Amino acid sequence: MAKLTITEALAEVKLIEKKLVKKRENVLANLSRYSHVQDPMQSDGGTTSWIEKEHQSMKDLQTRLEKIRSGIADANLKTEVTVGEASKSVFEWLTWKREVAPGYLGFLKQVHMSTKTALDQQNARPGLVTDSDGKQKLVELVLNVNYLDYLKQAEKANDLLEALDGQLSLKNATVLINV
């Protein structure tokens, strides 16, 4: 059983995926030939034999890929990372980064844009309203959220993402997995 850092394992995953694509293309390109054309794999036992060997090679690569991915998943579940005041497993942080943070940041951006648009419209052309006494008053915009708090939350979330990326890179370079 070999030990690899997660960074090395991820690099190997990319290499395996490229090899699998190439092997599949090569097999598909050699599925048939006309009888009058010489077998291009004749010196290696013939195309039929070569395809069987390539197929076995693909199975071996796929098994290696599964083992690497399993090792990474296991390490991600067991390895804790602290970012700011929060400690979570790498798996939990990755889930937050991929699935939670985009929606949260998108929501904060929408709050920012909607509030900014309302403020801009208010400042561009303030409206007048007639009260019950018949007096005209300037229409005032009432914000139901603290605009600055939402900006701070977005900044804090982006800072957290940056710090998290650094911690994940560090863990990927130092955590060893068994393959």
Segments forming the whole domain that contains residue 138: 82-173
The answer on pLDDT for 126 being more than 80 is no
- Let me know whether 103 and 62 are in one domain: no
Among residues 78, 105, 130, which one ends one of the domains? 78
Number of structural domains found in the chain: 2
Q: Which residues contact 71 (CB under 8 A, 6 or more apart)?
A: 4, 9, 177, 178, 179
Instruction: State the Cα angle at 113 between 112 and 117, rounded to 5°.
Output: 120
Q: Are 97 and 167 members of one domain? A: yes
55 vs 112: CA distance, rounded Å: 55
Mean pLDDT of all residues in 132-152: 87
Residue 96 and residue 168 share a domain = yes
Q: Is 178 contained in some domain?
A: no
| 96 in a structural domain | yes
Residue labelled with tokens 């690569």: 61
88 plus 74 within the same structural domain: no
User: Is pLDDT above 90 for 120?
Assistant: no
pLDDT at 91 over 90: yes
Task: Return the DSSP state at 31.
Answer: S
User: Which of the listed residues 22, 44, 78 is the one where a domain comes to its end?
Assistant: 78
Radius of gyration of the chain (CA): 30
pLDDT of 44 reads 86
Please state whether the predicted TM-score (pTM) of the whole model is above 0.85: no
Instruction: Provide DSSP, 36-73.
Output: TSPPTTGGGT-HHHHHHHHHHHHHHHHHHHHHHHHHHH
Q: How far apart are CA 71 and CA 176, in angstroms?
A: 9
Whole-number percent of the chain with pLDDT over 90: 81
More confident call, 119 vs 51:
51
